[in-house]
């Protein structure tokens, strides 16, 4: 059985686990929701790195994982380089905003990016934008979304408060005819319906869960993984969690919640 460790600051990374479940078979998935330290997007780079190291050590020592997925754009930005250096034996896959597919799909050349403040200010994101947009007629409308992760973690994906936040953040994108929006946090796919409702246009929303799943499948031959059989999902948390969110994302699986 392929043993996969996945972590995020909360339950948003389960959107990546859902994508994995549609591609990967014959595997044990161990998910850690670091709710005690959520949200990562408002923590310092040093804090984020330490949280990531702590969780990785736990997954290695407790579950002897073969692969690690950072289901968090912010953790990827500040920790993946160090993790790859420390654990060269692991398959390590990060999460990055889908800038490349957004550039390929936009028709107006105007791309919105919703992300945590830490992701938008990070060197990894800034370098990705510079590299992929070089020589292209693309304008990015970037919007940090402080507080949105907390709203989603509380299960308020349809509340008036969440809608008011999104309306304020999306207003400049509406005015500037943005036709493609990058969801730069794994929590944000949980409010896609509200985003579409607010934008009131044929908007393309870019998330990266399926790309991560396909990448893992392509790398899993390194550990002689045969992609067939049952998939087991175990969820750990460092503090209390909203089980309603888990039921919303992973509706078709028997879960072990610890």
Active site members: 72, 185
Paired tokens of 81: 């380089």
Whether residue 184 contacts residue 191, with contact meaning beta carbons closer than 8 Å, is answered with: no
Please name which of 182, 85, 87 lies closest in space to residue 138, comparing C-alpha atoms: 182
Question: How many alpha carbons fall within 13 Å on the CB side of residue 27?
Answer: 28
Torsion region of 147: left, alpha or beta (phi above 0 gives left; psi -120 to 50 gives alpha): left
- The radius of gyration computed from the CA coordinates of the chain, to the nearest angstrom, equals 18
Torsion region of 66: left, alpha or beta (phi above 0 gives left; psi -120 to 50 gives alpha): alpha
Cβ–Cβ contacts within 10 Å for residue 30, how many?
23
Q: How far apart are CA 232 and CA 236, in angstroms?
A: 13
């Amino acid at each position: 059985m392929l043993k996969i460790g996945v972590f995020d600051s909360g339950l948003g990374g389960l959107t990546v686990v859902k994508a994995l479940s549609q591609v990967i078979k014959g595997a044990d998935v161990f998910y850690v929701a670091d709710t005690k330290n959520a949200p990562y997007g408002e923590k310092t780079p040093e804090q984020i790195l330490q949280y990531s190291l702590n969780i990785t050590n736990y997954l290695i020592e407790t579950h002897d994982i073969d692969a690690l997925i950072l289901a968090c754009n912010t953790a990827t930005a500040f920790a993946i380089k160090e993790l790859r250096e420390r654990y060269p034996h692991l398959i390590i896959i990060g999460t990055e905003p889908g800038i490349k597919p957004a550039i390929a799909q936009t028709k107006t050349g105007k791309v919105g990016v919703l992300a945590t403040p830490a992701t938008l200010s990070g060197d990894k994101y800034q370098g990705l934008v510079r590299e992929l947009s070089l020589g292209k007629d693309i304008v990015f409308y970037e919007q940090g979304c402080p507080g949105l992760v907390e709203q989603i973690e509380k299960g308020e994906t349809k509340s008036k408060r969440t809608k008011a936040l999104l309306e304020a953040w999306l207003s400049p994108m509406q005015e500037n005819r943005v036709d493609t929006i990058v969801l730069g946090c794994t929590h944000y796919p949980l409010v896609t319906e509200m985003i579409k409702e607010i934008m009131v246009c044929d908007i393309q929303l870019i998330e990266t869960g399926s790309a991560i799943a396909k990448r893992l499948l392509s790398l899993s031959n390194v550990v002689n993984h045969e992609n067939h059989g049952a998939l087991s999902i175990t969820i750990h948390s460092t503090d209390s969690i909203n089980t309603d969110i888990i039921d919303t994302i992973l509706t078709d699986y028997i879960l072990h919640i610890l």
